């Protein structure tokens, strides 16, 4: 049973589809990084999952059941916008969580406060944006959650604290927690996640195990003696995302089967055939770029 199960989630605002038939599962102990441009629907999807927004359609479940207040005993949510009480101090926030959660671990909370160098007597409005995020993160992890839903957990944090957050996520997941987080920091996703999902205009355009994706998504490039051409049927091959031609160079962006496709291109006797790796950033940008045609001239 998947810890987080999203099936055909759709959220419509008038004519706009903020989320379009999204289906995503996160298995127990897995860390899923959700990538997407601004406005792609990541935050909306999280809010639908947690009952903050009513979906237009779709089935949502956490540990096999719909979300109830009891779900939040072991689920920590970090919203995108800082939502702490500006007029309360850090210490009062910790006290609030101590009273609200049965699993609140005061020792852990102190540890985290020290880790983020927080002055517990300060009011939230006196903290910088990064410090306020740090408080929210400390509160989230202090309850020793089994499930974490984090919307841009590193926003406003300096690189040192970003690494701290990564360590917290990796540590929690290694201890069995399930994590679903969205981030604009591709580097974070590359480290902490084992699965990646890419959202664009509310639709899921890419999803899979991160290592497998990196192993499968490649550029196969062929340089010809004269004008490049592609073999019949390559453009419509389901393994090929798109083909780009420029003069004597042909590049096929493939989602799998790079070796076989390289061999197919070899059969055309070009001057050379090479296979190039793609970073996650390349893969992401390729998945969200505008209306990439199946084949065309660059």
Partner 1 sequence: MGYVEYLRARHAFTVFAIVLTACIAFTDFSILYGIHNAHVEHSSANRDTTYTISVAPGSKAHGKAADDEDSVPISLADKDFTVPIGMLFGVAAYLAMVLATILGTSLNKENSRGGFAFTKPISRERLALTFIGIDLAAIVAAFSFTVLLGLASLEVLGIFGKLALEPGAAAVAAVGLGAAVMWYGLLQAATSMRVAGGGLFVGLSWVLFFIMLPFYAITFLGPIFHGLIVAIDFFNPLAYFALVSHDDIVTTISLLGFSPGTCIAITWSLATAACIAAIYGWKRVEV
Partner 2 sequence: MTIFLIDPRSGVPLYIQLVDQVKRAVALGTLSPGEQLPTVKALALDLTINANTVARAYRELERDRVIETSPGRGSFVRTESGSGEVRRAIEDVGASVLADAVRETRSLGIGHATVRALFERALERWFPGTLPDTPPEET
Q: Catalog residues that contact partner 2 under the rule CB under 8 A.
A: 29-31, 163, 166-167, 170-171, 173-175, 187, 190-194, 210-212, 214-215, 223, 271-274, 276-282
Q: What residue 175 binds from partner 1, partner 2, none (CB within 5 to 8 A, per partner kind)?
A: partner 2
Least distance (Å) between residue 74 CB and partner 1: 9
298 binds, among partner 2, partner 1, none (CB under 5 to 8 A by kind): none
**What 3-state DSSP class applies to 259?**
helix
Residues near partner 1 (CB under 8 A): 47, 50-54, 69-73, 75, 77, 79-85, 87-88, 92, 95-96, 99-102
Q: Which residue's CB is nearer to partner 2, number 229 or number 276?
A: 276
* H-only helix segments in 78-128: 90-100, 106-115
DSSP H/E element including 159: helix 159-174
Q: How far is the CB of 272 from partner 2 (least distance, A)?
A: 3
Secondary structure class of 96 (helix, strand, coil): helix
* Cβ 38 to partner 1 shortest distance, Å: 17
End-to-end C-alpha distance for the chain, whole angstroms = 45
Parallel, antiparallel or unpaired: strands 16-26 and 178-182: unpaired
284: enclosing H helix or E strand: helix 280-288
**Alpha carbon of residue 278 to chain centroid:** 18
Alpha-carbon distance 238 to 10, whole Å?
26
14/233 with CB nearer partner 1: 14
13: partner contacted, choices partner 2, partner 1, none (Cβ within 5-8 A by kind): none
Cβ 165 to partner 2 shortest distance, Å: 11
* Minimum CB distance to partner 1 smaller for 147 or for 168: 147
In the complex, what is the shortest distance from the CB of residue 151 to partner 1, in angstroms, rounded to a whole number? Answer: 9
Spatial distance between the Cα atoms of 94 and 120, rounded to a whole number of angstroms: 9
Shortest separation between residue 70's beta carbon and partner 1, angstroms = 6
If DSSP codes are grouped into helix, strand and coil, which group holds residue 134? helix
Q: How far apart are the C-alpha atoms of 130 and 102, rounded to whole Å?
A: 28
174 makes contact, choosing from partner 2, partner 1, none, with CB < 5 to 8 Å by partner type, with partner 2
């Amino acid at each position: 049973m998947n810890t987080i199960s999203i099936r055909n989630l759709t959220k419509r605002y008038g004519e706009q589809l903020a989320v379009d038939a999204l289906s995503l599962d996160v298995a127990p102990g897995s860390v899923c990084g959700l990538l997407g441009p601004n406005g792609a629907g990541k935050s909306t999807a999280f809010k639908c999952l947690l009952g903050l927004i009513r979906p237009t359609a779709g089935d949502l479940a956490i540990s096999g059941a719909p979300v109830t207040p009891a779900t939040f005993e072991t689920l920590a949510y970090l919203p995108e916008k800082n939502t702490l009480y500006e007029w309360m101090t850090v210490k009062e926030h910790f006290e609030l969580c101590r009273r609200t959660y049965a699993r609140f671990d005061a020792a852990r909370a102190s540890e985290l406060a020290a880790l983020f160098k927080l002055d517990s007597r300060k009011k939230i409005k006196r903290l910088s944006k990064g410090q306020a995020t740090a408080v929210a993160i400390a509160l989230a992890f202090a309850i020793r959650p089994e499930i974490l839903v984090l919307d841009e957990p590193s926003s406003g944090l300096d690189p040192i604290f970003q690494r701290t957050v990564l360590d917290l996520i990796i540590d929690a997941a290694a201890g069995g927690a399930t994590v679903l987080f969205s981030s604009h920091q591709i580097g974070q996703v590359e480290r902490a996640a084992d699965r990646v999902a890419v959202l664009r205009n509310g639709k899921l355009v890419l999803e899979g195990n991160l290592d497998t994706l990196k192993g499968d998504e490649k550029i196969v490039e062929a340089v010809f003696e004269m004008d490049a051409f592609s073999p019949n049927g390559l453009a419509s091959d389901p393994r090929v995302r798109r083909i780009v031609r420029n003069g004597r160079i042909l590049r096929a962006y493939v989602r799998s089967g790079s070796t076989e496709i390289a061999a197919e291109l070899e059969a055309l006797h070009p001057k050379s055939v090479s296979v190039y790796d793609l970073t996650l950033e390349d893969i992401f940008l390729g998945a969200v770029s505008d209306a990439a045609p199946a084949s065309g001239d660059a």
